[in-house]
Structure 1
C-alpha cells in the first residue's frame, strides 16, 4: 500500500492548518478542558503530600481525601481573611463615598468648563442611562445567579478531578506508558517525572513568592498610608497568579482607593513607586532565589503564551500558560524531531549560564570583603 506524499511547499500550509484546528478545538472546548487542566496542575501540587501520607501507611484513597480537605481548608482560610478585611473596609465606606462624590463633582465642573455641558445636562444623561438599564435588572440578577451556580458546579467538578488524578494516577501513568510502547517506556516515564517536577517546583515557588509579596506590599502600603494596607497587599500579591496583568490590576485598584480616601496625587505616586520597587525586587531577587530557573522559558514566549492562553482559555489560560509551556518544553527536549522547538522556547546558552543579579551582588560584596 502506497502512502500519499505532499509537495514540500504544501507541507507548511498543512502544518498551519493543523495548528489552526488544534487551537480551534482548544477554544471551543474551553469549558470542558480548563477545569481538567487546572485540576491536573493542582493535583501535581498536592502530589508530594499524598506520597508522604502513603509512605506513612495511609491508604491512597484516604490520602487523596486528606489532600482535598487541606486544599479546601487553605481556600476557606484565604476567603475568610479577605472577607474579614472587606468587613473592615465597609466601616469606612461613608468616608470613601464622600471622597468619590468630591471627585465626581470636580469632574463634572471640568466637563462643564471644557465642553460646555452643564451639570444638569450631565445628571439627565446619567438618569437616562440608569432608566434604560433598570428594566433589565431582573435579567442581570438572573444571569448573575446562573453564573454563580455555574462557577460552583465547576469548582465541585475540579475537586472531583483532583481527587481522581491523585487516587488513580498510577492508572493514567500506565496508560501513557502503554501508548509509548515497551521500547520507549523508560524514556516516557522520565519525561512524565520531569514534567511533573517542573509544575510542582513552579507552583510551590510561586506560592512562596506570593507570601513574600504580601509582606513587601503590606510594608510599602503601610508606609505610604493606604487604609487597609494589609487587604490590598494580599490582593496585589495573590493576583500575581495571573502574570503581568494581575499585579497591575491590584495596584491600579490600590491607587484608586488611595485617591478615593483623599490621599491625592502624591499618595497615588507613592503607591506606584511601591509597586515599581516590589516588582524590581521580585524580578531580580525573588524570582531567581525562590522560583529559580525551573521553568526555563524564553521571555518572548512567556509573554506570547500568556496572550495566546488568554485568547483561547481566558483568565484560566493565563494561569495555566507558563506551567503548561514549561511541561511542553520538557517533552520537546526529549523527543529528537522536536528538540529545535524546545531550544526555541527556552533560553539560549548565554542567558542560561549568566548568574542572577542576586548572585552577582553577593559575589561583588565577597570580592570587596577580600
Structure 2
C-alpha cells in the first residue's frame, strides 16, 4: 500500500491535530504583542478599503486616498476619546466623595456577608485581590509593555497603510499559492471574508451607537449621575458578545449604590438594561449586525473567553471575526464542512444517525430478496 493511501488510526491523527492546535495557540500567546496589532490593522484595513477604492475611482492618487481614509478614521477615534475623556474628568472631580460613600457601602456588604454567609472579611479581601489581579493581567495583555502602547499609537496606522497599499500584491499571493483551477474558489473565499468582516464590524459600530443612546437616555430618565459616560462605556462593553452585556449592567448598579439611597434606583437600572438588552438581541443584532456568517451562541461565548485568555481584551474583540473567517473556509472545503456546521447557528431537527438508520431500513425493505440471499 502506498503512503498516499495509508490510513492512520484515529488516536494518532487526533493526537497530531491536538498537538498542532496547542502549538498554534502557544505561538499566538507568545507573539501577542506583534500579532494582535496586525490583526486589528487587518480588520481596520478591510473597513477602510471601500472608501479608498471609491476615492481611487474618482481619480485620487492611491497614497493620498489611503492617507485620507486613515486620517478620517483617526479623527473619528480621537473625537470619541476626547468625549470620553471629558466625561471622565467631570467624574474625577467628585471621585473623593464617591470613594468615601463606596467604602461605607462596601463595609456594610462585607459585614452582611460575614454575618449571614460566614465569609470572613479577610477571605473577602483575598478573593477581591485575586479578581483584581486577574483583571489587571487581562488588561495588561492588551496594552502591556512599551511595544503594546507603541502599537496603539504608531504601528497600527502604519500597518493599515501598508496593508491597503499592498492589497493587490497580497491578493495575488493567495491566488498563486493555490492551483489555477482553484482560483474561483479562492476569490469566493476572499470576497466572502471581506464581506463578512465589513458587515460584522459596521453593524457592530452602529449597534454600539444605538445602545449608547438608549443607555444614556434611560439613565438620565432614572436620574443617575454621569449617565452619558456610563451609557457610552456600557455600549462599548456590549460589543463583547454576551459577556460585555453582563458587565455593562454592573457598572450603573454599582454607581447607583454609591450615589443613591435605597434600592429603587438599582432596580430601575436593572429593568431598563434588561429591556435594552431585549431590544438589542431581538431587533438591533438581527438587523444591524447582519454578518453573512452566523456563529452559534455556545461557540461565540467559548471563543470570546479563549480570545481573552490569549490576547486579553483585544482577543475578545477579534475572536468572532476570526472564527467567522474559519467558518467561511470550512463551508467551502468538503472535508471540513462538518466543522462549519458545528460553528453555525442552524439547529437541525433530527440527528444524522436517525436519518441514516431510516434510510437503511427503507433500502432493506425495498430489497427483500437481497436480504434473503445474505
TM-score greater than 0.5 by the shorter chain: yes
| C-alpha contact (below 8 Å) 1:309/1:321 kept by paired residues | yes
| C-alpha contact (below 8 Å) 2:49/2:164 kept by paired residues | yes
Aligned to 1:80: 82
Alpha-carbon offset, residue 334 of structure 1: 1.4
From 174, 178, 197, give the equivalent of 2:172: 174
Q: Distance in 2 between matches of 1:316 and 1:113?
A: 40
From 25, 28, 34, give the equivalent of 1:26: 28
Once the two structures are overlaid, the 10-residue window that deviates more, 28-37 or 196-205, is 28-37
TM-score, normalised by the number of residues in structure 1: 0.80
Aligned to 1:3: 3
Aligned to 1:332: 330
Aligned to 1:287: 285
Q: Distance in 1 between matches of 2:339 and 2:216?
A: 41
1:314-346: per-residue Cα shift (whole Å, max 9, x none)? 221111111111111111111222222112211
Q: Structure 1 323/36 Cα, relative in aligned 2: closer, same or farther at 3 Å? A: same
| C-alpha contact (below 8 Å) 2:47/2:198 kept by paired residues | yes
The aligned runs of 1:128-277 (5 Å cut-off) are 147=144, 149-155=146-152, 156-277=154-275
Alpha-carbon offset, residue 260 of structure 1: 1.1
Residue 197 of structure 2 aligns to a residue whose secondary structure is helix
Aligned to 1:136: none
Residue 264 of structure 1 aligns to a residue whose secondary structure is coil
Q: Structure 1 285/72 Cα, relative in aligned 2: closer, same or farther at 3 Å? A: same
Alpha-carbon offset, residue 95 of structure 1: 3.8
Residue 183 of structure 1 aligns to a residue whose secondary structure is helix
TM-score, normalised by the number of residues in structure 2: 0.80
Structure 1, unmatched stretches of 5+, are 117-121, 127-142, 352-370
Aligned to 2:19: 17
Once the two structures are overlaid, the 10-residue window that deviates more, 54-63 or 103-112, is 103-112
Once the two structures are overlaid, the 10-residue window that deviates more, 258-267 or 65-74, is 258-267
Residue 210 of structure 2 aligns to a residue whose secondary structure is helix
Q: Distance in 1 between matches of 2:212 and 2:331?
A: 36
1:285-336: per-residue Cα shift (whole Å, max 9, x none)? 1111111352311222112211222222222111111111111111111122
| C-alpha contact (below 8 Å) 1:39/1:161 kept by paired residues | yes
Q: Structure 1 158/285 Cα, relative in aligned 2: closer, same or farther at 3 Å? A: same
Alpha-carbon offset, residue 98 of structure 1: 4.1
Q: Distance in 2 between matches of 1:347 and 1:101?
A: 45
Residue 70 of structure 1 aligns to a residue whose secondary structure is helix
Q: Distance in 1 between matches of 2:103 and 2:327?
A: 52
The aligned runs of 1:30-49 (5 Å cut-off) are 30-49=32-51
Once the two structures are overlaid, the 10-residue window that deviates more, 221-230 or 310-319, is 310-319
Residue 60 of structure 2 aligns to a residue whose secondary structure is coil
| C-alpha contact (below 8 Å) 2:41/2:156 kept by paired residues | yes
From 60, 66, 71, give the equivalent of 1:58: 60
Structure 2, unmatched stretches of 5+, are 126-139, 350-374
Q: Structure 1 106/335 Cα, relative in aligned 2: closer, same or farther at 3 Å? A: closer
Q: Distance in 1 between matches of 2:166 and 2:289?
A: 29
The two structures, once aligned, show a CA RMSD in angstroms of 3.1
Alpha-carbon offset, residue 109 of structure 1: 6.6
Q: Structure 1 25/234 Cα, relative in aligned 2: closer, same or farther at 3 Å? A: same
